[in-house]
């Protein structure tokens, strides 16, 4: 895993296309959502539930449409971006004299839209692979078979942060060496499970059992759709679930995975071979074209010991069933991104949606094909698709204003480091140095990724997805042995999200999030600092949260804290962990504050930094936070309302449950209320007093 820390979970935003209301057809061009203080419900008390005060009117006006699992102001921007991308893909697809980039993305999009051709092909494009699996006679063939599948399935998004890599049996990617970011290693990680996290296999509450029952039916249905008899498919489904459960038992716990030292296991080929004698790594690496290296990063050695046991104990026919099912399942859709278009025919895609979209996320209908195809094009050829997007929607002056805000927020953190009483001067000096070394990336890469070697055919969607996947995995593996590239992006330009990467010491804001309601060139500073300023502060704080603080200025996992300073940090961190360890009624499960600590720390620190930067900015303009803004509210009230506004939204209970169990991000209501209740500045803005719900008696503060 990479320790990329995002603004919002990938599965819940990057592939999501909410509509504003039921009455709109999917083809109605969406509008941008600007900050509007009139949406406050003045009949409510901001001091008793600020999220309701700021968001309930919006949520009432924007119910979740049947083909969505969530509706929010955040998602409206996603809708807008996907529509923008669609427009450019359509133009490219019908251009009479296209540039090479337009030809590639246009042909890709046209091939995806041609659902009749995809349906006519049925499972045929995958048949050669399934035949190889069916003919597997010995478990010693597993390395070559798994490698062949790993080169065909779209690799998990680099920015995944959840419990496991999404793929067949295990995941392969490249990662900077934790101890030396100047060297990239081939990394092996836990994977191979179709449910989103280990708890889904191991918990024994009624809801978990129900999901497993449904999953069993899903496995059987997928196998039937590959041509198996009902009886055979039902029997094999039991086998597959048992094997995945064994993998879940061997896998590392999601909270343990948050601590980088727990996943920093480097092994030579001989050491790796010694823990998995039944799997010939030389064969696998040769097939994947992984360069020979003195060391490999094995993130979860116990998981691979579990794989060894499974290979030794399960007969070959069980392995055929497992590999057959997981290959079809991953080609039919994506486990972590259930709204992406699978490259197989409709019955398989529908069954995939039925389980992942409906059961795990609560959506009622599948997305229109054009939306799924627009997202696919972005996922497979993102830096080609993104070129036209930024040319059209991201004017250079926006970059300038963003950079000013980033600098103002970094200044605020430098001031905060100087001001805190719990850090010694030596640690402060190293914190300043780390912040000074951070690279700020805005909107899009300086150098675009070149997809020229990917063959895209207008009549071969399956092949286009498979060839794009092969290109991407090859691109990642080609980095082995090289220094981490600080200029590379792990998100595409139209993405509504942001991330921090401690190993390259960068913060990254794709152009997709630099639109209203986050960034609004027409808005006052108080509104922009409350929205995108909070996002900048969030990502900046990640460099100094419970994970980020363990990496130094050069991106190496190195303890630069004195023992006493680290203990002071842990004490503050514990306050946040305890605050967020709470029952979440809308999800029906308890949140684990140890899982969400990094994100919660970033949310709390982010808003503090944005507020300090706003205060400095207003001061330079001869104003202060209590000055009245043109809308009649104070600057400070505008700031907090603009902050709440970007989190206005609601989601279905299934999606909320999946998110709380597998993601480090708190649900929106808590991202607003828990944060502001820790802030005396909020109480001041809205006249709240001790004893009211939005004023915590024991307020937590790290940054």
Q: Residue 292: left if φ>0, alpha if ψ -120 to 50, beta else—which one?
A: beta
Q: Least distance (Å) from Zn ion to the CB of residue 161?
A: 9
Query: Whole-angstrom Cα distance, residue 480 to residue 461?
Result: 30
Nearer to Zn ion, 348 or 602 (CB): 602
Rounded alpha-carbon distances, angstroms, from residue 478 to 41, 338, 376: 54, 29, 23
Q: How near is the Cβ of 539 to Zn ion at its closest, in Å?
A: 7
Least distance (Å) between residue 616 CB and Zn ion = 24
Candidates 325-333, 526-534, 594-602, 690-698; binding stretch for Zn ion (CB under 5 A): 594-602
* 8 A C-beta contact, residue 697 and residue 690: yes
CB closer to Zn ion, 59 vs 602: 602
Closest CB 394 distance from Zn ion, rounded Å: 22
Strand-strand pairing, 649-651 and 583-584: unpaired
- Closest contact distance (angstroms) between CB of 293 and Zn ion is 31
- Give the other-Cβ count within 10 Å of 493's Cβ: 26
Stretch of 5-13, 77-85, 302-310, 633-641 contacting Zn ion, by CB under 5 A = 5-13
- CB of residue 488 vs Zn ion: minimum separation in angstroms? 19
Give the torsion sign (CA, 577, 300, 555, 493): negative
Helix (H, G, I), strand (E, B) or coil at 70: strand
Question: What secondary structure does DSSP assign to 162-187, as a single string?
Answer: SSS--SSSEEEEEEEETTEEEEEEEE
**Which one, 602 or 688, has the nearer CB to Zn ion?**
602
Q: Indicate the residue whose CB is closest to Zn ion.
A: 5
The residue (of 200 and 703) whose beta carbon lies closer to Zn ion is 703
Report, in Å, the least distance between residue 508 CB and Zn ion. Answer: 11
If binding is defined by CB under 5 A, does position 602 make contact with Zn ion? yes
431-445: string of b/e by CB count within 10 Å (b at 16+)?
beebbeebebbbbbb
Count of residues engaged in binding Zn ion, rule: CB under 5 A: 3
Candidates 104, 91, 150; CA nearest to 455 is 104
Q: How far apart are CA 590 and CA 580, in angstroms?
A: 10
Residue 187 backbone phi and psi in degrees, to 5: -120, 135
| Least distance from Zn ion to the Cβ atom of residue 75, Å | 18
Phi, psi torsion values for 443, nearest 5 degrees: 80, -55
Min. distance of Cβ 674 from Zn ion in angstroms? 15
- Kindly tell me which of 121 and 498 has the beta carbon lying closer to Zn ion: 498
Q: Which 270-329 residues touch Zn ion, going by CB under 5 A?
A: none
Instruction: Select the span of 2-10, 178-186, 449-457, 626-634 touching Zn ion (CB under 5 A).
Output: 2-10
- Applying CB under 5 A, the span of 16-24, 147-155, 328-336, 591-599 interacting with Zn ion comes to 591-599
* Cβ nearer to Zn ion, comparing 296 with 643: 643
Tokens linked to 288: 């994947």
Calculate helix-pair angle for 635-645, 50-61, nearest 10 degrees. 50
C-beta of 5 vs 464, nearer to Zn ion: 5
Site for Zn ion contains 5 (CB under 5 A): yes
Task: Answer yes or no: are the C-beta atoms of 361 and 658 closer than 8 Å.
Answer: yes
User: Could you give the count of Cα atoms lying within 13 Å of 568 in the half-sphere of its Cβ?
Assistant: 14
Strands (E), 524-573: none
For residue 676, the 8-state DSSP code is H
Whose Cβ is closer to Zn ion: residue 176's or residue 502's? 502
**CA separation (Å) from 238 to 44, 216, 233, 243?**
52, 7, 9, 9
Is 382 or 664 the residue whose CB approaches Zn ion more closely? 664
- Tell me the window of 1-9, 146-154, 164-172, 398-406 that interacts with Zn ion (CB under 5 A): 1-9
Output the smallest distance, CB 6 to Zn ion, in A: 5
Q: Token match 């990479």: residue?
A: 2
Q: Please give the Cα distance from 380 to 373 (Å, whole number).
A: 10
State in angstroms the smallest separation of the CB of 181 from Zn ion. 20
Our finding on whether 8 is near Zn ion (CB under 5 A) is no
Which range binds Zn ion by CB under 5 A, 239-247, 282-290, 327-335, 593-601?
Answer: 593-601
User: Per the structure block, which two tokens stand in for 434?
Assistant: 């780390």
For residue 659, state whether it binds Zn ion (rule: CB under 5 A): no
Residue 5 or 343: which CB sits closer to Zn ion? 5
Instruction: Please report, for residues 525, 529, 530, 681, 700, the alpha-carbon distance to residue 408 in angstroms, rounded to integers and kept in the order given.
Output: 12, 10, 13, 19, 24
**Residue 525, CA atoms < 13 Å, CB-side half-sphere:** 24
| Residue 603 Cβ vs Zn ion, minimum distance, rounded to whole Å | 8
Give the torsion through C-alpha atoms of 252, 257, 261, 263, to 10 deg: 50
- Closer residue to Zn ion, CB minimum distance, 519 or 686: 519
Contact in structure between 133 and 327 (CB atoms under 8 Å): yes
Residue 679: strand, helix, or coil: coil
CB 354 within 8 A of CB 346: no
Nearest distance from C-beta of residue 12 to Zn ion, angstroms: 13
Q: Which is nearer to Zn ion, 75 or 351 (CB)?
A: 75
Part of the chain binding Zn ion (CB under 5 A), chosen from 18-26, 254-262, 601-609, 642-650: 601-609
Distance CA(536)–CA(509), nearest Å, equals: 8
In the bound state with Zn ion, the residue whose beta carbon lies nearer, of 272 and 602, is 602
Q: Which is nearer to Zn ion, 14 or 363 (CB)?
A: 14
Rounded to a whole number of angstroms, the minimum distance from the CB of residue 502 to Zn ion is 12
Least distance in Å: CB of 597 to Zn ion? 11
Residue 507 vs 524, nearer CB to Zn ion: 507
Q: How far is the CB of 538 from Zn ion (least distance, A)?
A: 6
Compare residues 471 and 670 and give the one whose CB is closer to Zn ion: 670
Q: Which structure tokens are listed for 191?
A: 């994977």
Contact call for residue 668 and Zn ion (CB under 5 A): no
Residue 690 burial class via C-beta count within 10 angstroms: exposed 0-12, middle 13-18, buried 19 and up: exposed
Q: Which stretch binds Zn ion (CB under 5 A): 207-215, 235-243, 257-265, 592-600?
A: 592-600
Which residues on neighbouring strands pair with residue 186, listed in sequence order?
Answer: 174
Span near Zn ion by CB under 5 A; candidates 207-215, 290-298, 599-607, 685-693: 599-607
User: How would you classify the pairing of strands 649-651 and 70-72?
Assistant: antiparallel
Site map (CB under 5 A) of Zn ion, residues 83-122, x = contact? ----------------------------------------
Residues engaged in binding Zn ion (CB under 5 A)? 5, 599, 602
């Amino acid at each position: 895993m990479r320790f990329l820390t995002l603004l919002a979970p990938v599965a819940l935003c990057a592939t999501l296309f909410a509509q504003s209301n039921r009455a709109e057809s999917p083809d109605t061009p969406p509008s941008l959502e600007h900050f509007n203080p009139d949406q406050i419900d003045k009949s409510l008390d901001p001091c008793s539930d600020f999220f309701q005060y700021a968001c309930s009117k919006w949520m009432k006006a924007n119910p979740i449409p049947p083909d969505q699992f969530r509706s929010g102001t955040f998602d409206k921007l996603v809708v807008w971006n996907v529509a923008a991308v669609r427009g450019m893909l359509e133009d490219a697809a019908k251009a009479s004299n296209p540039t090479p980039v337009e030809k590639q993305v246009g042909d890709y999009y046209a091939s995806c839209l041609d659902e009749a051709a995809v349906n006519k092909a049925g499972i045929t494009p995958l048949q050669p692979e399934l035949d190889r699996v069916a003919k597997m006679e010995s478990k010693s063939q597993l390395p070559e078979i798994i490698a062949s599948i790993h080169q065909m399935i779209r690799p998990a998004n680099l920015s995944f942060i959840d419990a496991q890599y999404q793929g067949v049996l295990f995941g392969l990617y490249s990662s900077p060496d934790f101890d030396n970011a100047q060297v990239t290693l081939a990394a092996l990680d836990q994977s191979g499970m179709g449910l989103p996290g280990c708890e889904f296999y191991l918990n024994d509450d009624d809801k978990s059992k129900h999901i497993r029952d449904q999953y069993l039916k899903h496995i059987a249905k997928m196998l039937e759709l590959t041509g198996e008899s009902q009886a055979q498919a039902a029997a094999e489904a039991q086998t597959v679930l048992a094997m995945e459960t064994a993998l879940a038992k061997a896998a590392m716990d999601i909270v343990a995975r948050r601590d980088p030292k727990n996943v920093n296991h480097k092994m030579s080929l001989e050491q790796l071979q010694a823990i998995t004698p039944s799997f010939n790594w030389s064969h696998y690496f040769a097939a994947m074209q992984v360069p020979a290296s003195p060391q490999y990063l094995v993130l979860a050695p116990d998981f691979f010991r579990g794989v060894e046991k499974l290979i030794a104990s399960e007969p070959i026919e069980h392995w055929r069933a497992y590999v057959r099912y997981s290959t079809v399942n991953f080609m039919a859709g994506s486990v972590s991104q259930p709204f992406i278009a699978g490259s197989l025919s409709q019955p398989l895609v529908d069954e995939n949606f039925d389980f992942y979209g409906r059961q795990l996320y609560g959506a009622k209908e599948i997305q229109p094909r054009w939306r799924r195809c627009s997202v696919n094009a972005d996922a497979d050829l993102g830096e080609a698709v993104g070129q036209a997007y930024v040319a059209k929607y991201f004017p250079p002056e926006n970059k300038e204003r963003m950079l000013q805000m980033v600098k103002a927020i970094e200044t605020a953190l430098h001031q905060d480091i100087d001001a805190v009483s719990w850090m010694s001067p030596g640690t402060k000096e190293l914190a300043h140095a780390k912040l000074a070394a951070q690279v700020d990336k805005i909107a899009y890469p300086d150098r675009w990724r070149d997809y020229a070697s990917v063959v895209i055919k207008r009549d071969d969607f399956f092949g286009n997805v498979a060839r794009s996947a092969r290109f991407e995995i090859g691109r990642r593996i080609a980095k082995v042995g090289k220094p981490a590239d600080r200029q590379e992006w792990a998100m595409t330009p139209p993405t509504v999200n942001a991330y921090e990467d401690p190993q390259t010491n960068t913060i990254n804001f794709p152009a997709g999030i630099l639109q209203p309601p986050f960034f609004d060139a027409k808005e006052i500073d108080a509104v922009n600092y409350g929205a995108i300023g909070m996002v900048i502060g969030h990502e900046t704080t990640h460099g100094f949260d419970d994970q980020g603080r363990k990496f130094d200025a050069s991106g190496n996992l190195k303890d630069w804290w004195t023992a006493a300073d680290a203990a002071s940090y842990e004490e503050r961190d514990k306050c946040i962990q305890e605050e967020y360890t709470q029952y979440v009624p809308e999800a029906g499960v308890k949140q684990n504050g140890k899982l969400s600590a990094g994100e919660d720390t970033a949310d709390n620190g982010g808003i503090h930094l944005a507020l300090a930067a706003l205060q400095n900015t207003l001061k330079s303009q001869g104003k202060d936070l209590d000055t009245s803004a043109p809308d009649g509210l104070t600057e400070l009230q505008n700031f907090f309302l603009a902050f709440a506004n970007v989190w206005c939204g609601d989601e279905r209970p299934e999606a909320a449950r999946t998110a709380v169990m597998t993601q480090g991000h708190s649900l929106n209501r808590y991202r607003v209320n828990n944060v502001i209740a820790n802030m005396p500045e909020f109480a001041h803005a809205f006249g709240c007093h001790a004893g009211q719900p939005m004023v915590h008696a024991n307020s937590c503060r790290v940054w």
